[in-house]
A and B are shown apart, each in its own frame.
Chain A
Amino acid sequence: MRPELICPAGTPAAMRTAVDACADAVYCGFQNATNARNFPGLNFTVDELETSVAYAHERGTKVLLAVNTFPPAGKFDLWKEAIDTGVRLGVDAFIVADVGVAAYGSETYPDARLHLSVQAAASSPEAIRYYCREFGVKRVVLPRILTVPEIKQLATEIPCEIETFIFGNHGLMVEGRCSLTNYVTGLSTNMDGVCSPAAQVHYERDADGNLSSRLADFTIDCFSCNDKAGYPTICKGRYLADCREGGYYAFEEPISLNSSPLLPELIAAGVHAFKIEGRQRSRAYVKSVVSAFRKAVDAVMSGDEPNLADLVALTEGQKQTEGAFKTKKWR
């Protein structure tokens, strides 16, 4: 079985880039709270999506529409509209997380293909089987917390395809269950599709040249003048605890996921699709990452060694991890 390469499309231009770099599928969202990357300057208008779906389909690339946030009561119509529009434009699958959205999609459009978003936080075979049974989910995007042996075992216990993240942001919080951003900013990751919103990010330099990164009222990290300042994502910040001397990364270091060395093992474990994270990234990033992974997947499938050295340079802070896939010791 040849696994699919699922690539980020934050903008129509990024989508064309990913399609041209031979992605098997691209994923994208509308310019509103219905998707989990509701960032300024990102995502698609209805017209843009219509044109982009045509572009992708002409070149044999599938389009997956992320409708993967949790509609708050009273606002459900926006999510319905996203599904309705996606069906009308002929997207190939919907990535959903909310039970209500999944129910609406499966009941209104029984032929629509549903993928279970990582935001649904389905990390056990039973949780995944629930969504398969109730909504006919065809594929699950696994949380980034399982090891290769765990994925291999899981593949034998669920009736749907498996998609795993292979490259990009490495978050440790259970996705779809995190209200840290809302606690600090008043905007919700689950309801608004926002994580550490840029409009509330500030950098402040003190007299010694140290730079603080802040999100709304809270300092998330501090850098000496020689350090490269990172973006203030709450779960990647440094904090003080009584049992530690000085600031430490209480949750996770600002590190990127790069599981490419495990590609052959993951394919053997029964993974149907590999997802590259980064709808917020540039076209140049998309082009180089997608091209490199295209070559790597094709190399593995023809029995050759994949060459991925170039990918290291693309990772955040040049630090990378194979994440949970390799071992459960990180837990």
Chain B
Amino acid sequence: MTGNLTLGPILFHWPAEQKLDFYAKIADEAPIDTVYLGEVICSKRAPFFEQHYDEVADRLQRGGKKVVFSSLCEVVLKRERRAIEGFCELTDFEIEANNSSALLHMNGRPHRIGPMMNVYNETTMAYLVKGGATHFSLPVELPGASAEILAKTAADLSVGTEMQVFGRASLAVSARCYHARAHARTKDNCQFVCEDDPDGMPLKTLDGKPFLAINGIQTLSQTYLNYVSELPDLQAAGITHYRLSPHSQDMVAVAEIFRDVLDNKIEPGEGDVRLSAATGSVPFSNGFWHGKPGHLRI
């Protein structure tokens, strides 16, 4: 094994049944080392799956996966603040903070730093390590040149570094729900319309060009980030963990392809061809890694 393959939290509002099936399949079949669980995007969605986490975590662990719980990324309301506080008291699992309100509670206890936490440089990384951070998922827009420096810093500090290598890129979050807005509702009376779009709601430009995808308060890229061809570069840069972001496509197949490339069983070029086939030819991008516009395929 030459690199850990991880599965990020499900960003979209899938029905509980679908999530249960998904994680059962991941537990049994996917060559994934670590699975992140938890509702990261919307506190209103959280109650739908809360009662299942014990069962899912147990299933994943029995399948040989490490389980990490990932926190909400936006914390404003009382219930969100309480959720973060409770989240930070978890002791059975590692946790990943996606909002700085969690850092107040951690105060030296071990935790991971999520991709929405803005760790762009060595000084920030070193400071957060002093506060208990053990692992960093780097921002999705970070270019390879900076990621390489951060990975070296992380190695010196004996902490892990992770980058998303597959799936729509999170580009922005808001306090407003854009799913509700599209349906002329507000966040408070959204009626969970986001459930209609398992990979996000596509937005096109006025001249019909696919552009973005809406997921509640989150805006994602329309293209799927695909760093399969960049995996050797990421490995050479010293990135230790590679994150797949879950989509409705066959994630077991996706994981197998990335695993095979990481293990040098197949060439990245072949991985790329197989990935297109496995995902129904969704459009891919890799511009961010190359310091170019994120939507581009270099």
Contacts and interface: CB of A to CB of B under 8 A. Distances in A.
Answer whether A and B are interacting partners: yes
Contacts of A44: none
Nearest to A145: B175
Interface in A210-229: 212, 216-222
Interface residues of A, number: 73
Nearest to B148: A73
Interface size class of B (residues with CB under 8 A): 35 or more
Contact of B145 (A74, A150, A176, A239): A74
Interface string B185-229: 011100000000000011111111101101000010100000000
A233 interface: no
A174 B75 CA distance: 11
A239 B181 contact: no
A173 B181 CA distance: 14
Interface string B38-70: 000000000000000000000000000000000
A133 B170 CA distance: 30
A145 B76 contact: yes
Given A239-B212, A251-B178, A183 B124 contact: no
Interface in B167-186: 169-178, 181-183, 186
B206 A73 contact: no
B171 A324 contact: no
Interface in A182-212: 182-186, 188, 190-191, 212
Given A182-B141, A239-B211, A219 B124 contact: no
Contact of B174 (A104, A174, A191, A218): A174
Contacts of A124: 75-76, 80-81, 84, 99, 101
A84 interface: no
Contacts of B143: 72
A79 to B, nearest CB: 8
B182 A243 contact: yes
Given A73-B150, A218-B205, A239-B203, A188 B122 contact: no
Interface string B100-134: 11111100000000001011111111111001000
B231 interface: no
B20 interface: no
B121 A76 contact: yes
B85 to A, nearest CB: 8
| Interface secondary structure of B, over-half rule | mixed
Contact of B127 (A100, A235, A247): A100
B56 to A, nearest CB: 28
Given A100-B127, A130-B100, A250 B75 contact: no
A163 B164 CA distance: 35
A178 B172 contact: yes
A219 B74 CA distance: 29
Contacts of B103: 127, 130
Contact of A241 (B76, B127, B201): B201
B142 interface: yes
A204 to B, nearest CB: 10
Nearest to B196: A243
Given A76-B121, A123-B75, A124-B101, A212 B206 contact: yes
Interface string A229-244: 0000001001111111
Interface of A: 70-76, 97-101, 103-104, 120-127, 129-131, 133-134, 143, 145-146, 150, 172-174, 176-180, 182-186, 188, 190-191, 212, 216-222, 235, 238-244, 247-248, 250-252, 324, 328-331
15 contacts: A72-B121, A99-B128, A100-B121, A100-B125, A103-B127, A123-B76, A127-B103, A173-B219, A174-B174, A218-B209, A239-B206, A241-B201, A251-B176, A252-B176, A331-B187
Given A146-B76, A239-B205, 17 more contacts: A76-B121, A100-B121, A100-B127, A103-B124, A121-B100, A124-B84, A126-B85, A173-B219, A184-B295, A191-B120, A217-B293, A219-B205, A220-B205, A241-B201, A242-B202, A331-B177, A331-B186
